[in-house]
């Protein structure tokens, strides 16, 4: 007991000593006030209008999902090499074949918007049809500038200064007019329809989703900050202005590039990492595959069309440049040339003034200018197949019977010879057929093979350049960047070349079109040091889309381009490198608008898309 009493006395003495110390330091209050922590004041209840948050449905905790447990054949009591195991393997193979067939059909089959694999609700489909009909009531075409020489940098400093001042006045006082989460995942590509009465934006995301956004559908042009809570969670997909719809026309692969036809604004061309290019007719709301690679690993990275809209030039991750003539039958011969020696080519652009000139941007740090007239003179490799693709595969329909390629007697003799060659006299095991019966109302679906049938290896390209007369005219120009070249684009006049590179520079070359008249490479003076070079942070990392400076297609004003900025702004820059505007709202935009686009008919309407699928329209209220 004496030990316990002494311990208690010592404890009480320590408490008294601590209290005396606190009293001497005047910290008797304790708590948060002792170390200067001030509680955050509540936001004012009046004067701010915020959009009410939508309540999210909570998961029902009472529902327990039971996953199927995998068990081995040994635990199931199935003997090895038994008839049951053989039938099970055949069943799994048949199921896999059905899945492959469904995936092939989904990748290549034609669609209408009312027959998509992921159907659109009727109300949304009706609204989308109405929007597309109003946007395509008139056809718009793209043309060369009426006086391209008036917009050159050689017309004097006073003329350039006045044009830049005029351009800056167009971008003064811009604000965010509309914002919405258009796609489910990261924005990969974007294009704006040229209809001047609408701002109709097409957005492609990382998993092949096509978002269609009528940004000003509600007719409101006030600052979007007055309507949307800036703190709203970006995962809330009901947030935003205007109207938008989501379609899945390709497979679940990134939509790498999108273009409105320069000769017919009712057609939207899209390419995907499923190695295919499709066209969506905005009037008939039908989607059709135009081109594909038989090897799905040969991802299509970019494509472009001349002003005629009759050809498609596309590039892929294995260094190939492919050509598709839209005037020919889909079974006609298509060609592919390995111009990149196996290195990925991430960009391609057709010169609008001289459509035989095509520039490419490659991972080997180079931008190259090719004369495609020479490519067609190169004989295809002997190893490539000169025969056209096989006949189209059709799903059976009640009106159309499948064509027989061989007679009944021929097929019977083949079966008899196969049985005679079999080493076993026992009949083959029965194959379980899992293919579902085709309903009578199922329409005929044509699966059109559209892959290239003629190839050229890189060695044939080099041999042509070295040994053929005027072979050096195939490559008109080459310029090497410090690091990988992300993109290269001709401007609407066909005389300026714009590149973006991972060496953190954006460059412009102003090339006289007459310098391409001789069938030979450009000189160092003609295609050497860039006319304009500006520093720009292009280190996007893994989670952002690659920055690509994009020309404005508007030819009524001084040439300019847009590009995303790692400081969360959208930059507008004249082709001379003069900064025009830095569109930035730190309270409203909290992510990098890595993908940008500008309206071809409205000068000061520019759009930025970020890594969450959210897009912002800038304009004058």
- 111-139+157-390+450-619: CATH architecture: 7 Propeller (2.130)
Each residue of 469-497: pLDDT tens digit? 889 999 999 999 999 999 999 999 999 99
List the structure tokens of 370: 């090719």
pLDDT of residue 119: 87
- pTM attached to this predicted model: 0.76
pLDDT of residue 448: 61
Locus of tokens 């395509």:
136
Taking 50 as the pLDDT cut, the residues of the chain under it are: 28-29, 31-41, 229-236, 238, 386-445
Nearest to 499 by CA among 477, 518, 484, 512: 484
pLDDT of residue 44: 54
Contact 200, 213 (CB under 8 A): yes
Spell out a b/e string for 534-543, using b for 16 or more CB atoms within 10 Å of the CB, else e.
bebebebeee
pLDDT of residue 463: 94
pLDDT of residue 60: 60
> Rounded CA gap, 214 and 617, in Å?
11
List the structure tokens of 558: 């001084």
pLDDT of residue 387: 46
Classify residue 230 by burial, with Cβ atoms within 10 Å: 0-12, 13-18, 19+: middle
Classify residue 232 by burial, with Cβ atoms within 10 Å: 0-12, 13-18, 19+: middle
Interstrand relation of 311-316 and 320-325 (parallel, antiparallel or unpaired): antiparallel
pLDDT of residue 133: 95
pLDDT of residue 226: 53
> Rounded CA gap, 77 and 578, in Å?
77
> Rounded CA gap, 167 and 603, in Å?
9
Nearest to 445 by CA among 394, 397, 398, 402: 394
pLDDT of residue 32: 46
């Amino acid at each position: 007991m004496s030990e316990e009493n002494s311990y208690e006395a010592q404890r009480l003495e320590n408490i008294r000593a601590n209290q005396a110390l606190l009293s001497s330091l005047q910290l008797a209050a304790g708590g948060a006030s002792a170390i200067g922590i001030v509680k955050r004041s509540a936001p004012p209840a009046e004067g701010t209008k915020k959009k009410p948050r939508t309540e999210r449905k909570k998961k029902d905790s009472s529902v327990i999902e039971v996953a199927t447990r995998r068990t081995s054949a040994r635990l199931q009591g199935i003997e090895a090499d038994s008839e049951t195991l053989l039938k099970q393997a055949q069943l799994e193979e048949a199921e896999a074949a059905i899945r492959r067939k469904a995936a092939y059909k989904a990748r290549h089959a034609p669609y209408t918007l009312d027959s998509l694999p992921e159907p659109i609700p009727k109300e949304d489909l009706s609204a989308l049809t109405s929007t597309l009909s109003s946007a395509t009531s008139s056809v718009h075409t793209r043309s060369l500038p009426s006086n391209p020489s008036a917009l050159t940098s050689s017309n004097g400093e006073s003329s350039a200064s006045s044009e830049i001042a005029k351009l800056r006045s167009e971008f003064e006082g811009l604000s965010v007019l509309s914002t919405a989460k258009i796609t489910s995942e990261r924005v990969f590509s974007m294009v704006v329809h040229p209809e001047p009465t609408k701002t109709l934006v097409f957005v492609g995301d990382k998993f092949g989703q096509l978002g269609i956004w009528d940004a000003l559908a509600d007719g409101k042009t006030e600052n979007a900050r007055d309507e949307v809570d800036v703190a709203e969670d970006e995962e809330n997909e009901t947030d935003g202005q205007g109207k938008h719809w989501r379609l899945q026309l390709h497979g679940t692969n990134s939509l790498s590039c999108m273009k409105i036809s320069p000769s017919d604004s009712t057609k939207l061309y899209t390419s995907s990492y499923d190695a295919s290019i499709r066209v969506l007719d905005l009037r008939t709301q039908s989607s059709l595959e135009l081109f594909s690679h038989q090897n799905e690993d040969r991802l299509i990275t970019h494509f472009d069309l001349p002003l005629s809209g009759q050809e498609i030039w596309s590039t892929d991750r294995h260094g190939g440049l492919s050509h598709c003539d839209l005037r020919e039958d889909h079974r006609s011969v298509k060609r592919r040339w390995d111009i990149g020696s196996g290195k990925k080519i991430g960009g391609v652009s057709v010169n609008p003034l001289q459509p035989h000139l095509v520039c490419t941007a490659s991972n080997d740090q180079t931008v190259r200018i090719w004369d495609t007239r020479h490519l067609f003179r190169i004989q295809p490799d002997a190893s490539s197949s000169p025969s056209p693709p096989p006949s189209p595969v059709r799903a059976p329909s009640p009106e159309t019977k499948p064509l027989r390629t061989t007679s009944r007697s021929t097929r019977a003799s083949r079966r008899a010879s196969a049985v005679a060659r079999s080493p076993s006299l026992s009949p083959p095991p029965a194959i379980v057929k899992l293919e579902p019966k085709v309903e009578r109302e199922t329409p005929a679906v044509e699966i059109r093979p559209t892959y290239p049938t003629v190839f050229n290896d890189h060695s044939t390209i080099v041999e042509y350049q070295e040994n053929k007369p005027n072979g050096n005219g195939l490559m008109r120009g080459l310029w090497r960047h410090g690091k990988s070249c992300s993109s290269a684009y001709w401007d609407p006049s066909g005389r300026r070349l714009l590149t973006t590179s991972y060496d953190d520079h954006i460059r412009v070359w102003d090339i006289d079109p007459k310098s391409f008249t001789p069938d030979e490479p450009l000189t160092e003076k003609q295609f050497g040091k860039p006319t304009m070079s500006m520093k720009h942070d292009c280190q996007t990392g893994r989670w952002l889309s690659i920055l690509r400076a994009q020309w404005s297609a508007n030819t009524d004003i001084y040439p300019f381009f847009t590009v995303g900025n790692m400081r969360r702004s959208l930059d507008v820059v004249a082709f001379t490198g003069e900064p025009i505007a830095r569109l930035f709202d730190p309270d409203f935009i909290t992510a990098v608008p890595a993908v940008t686009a500008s309206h071809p008919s409205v000068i000061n309407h520019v759009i930025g898309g970020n890594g969450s699928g959210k897009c912002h329209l800038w304009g004058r209220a």
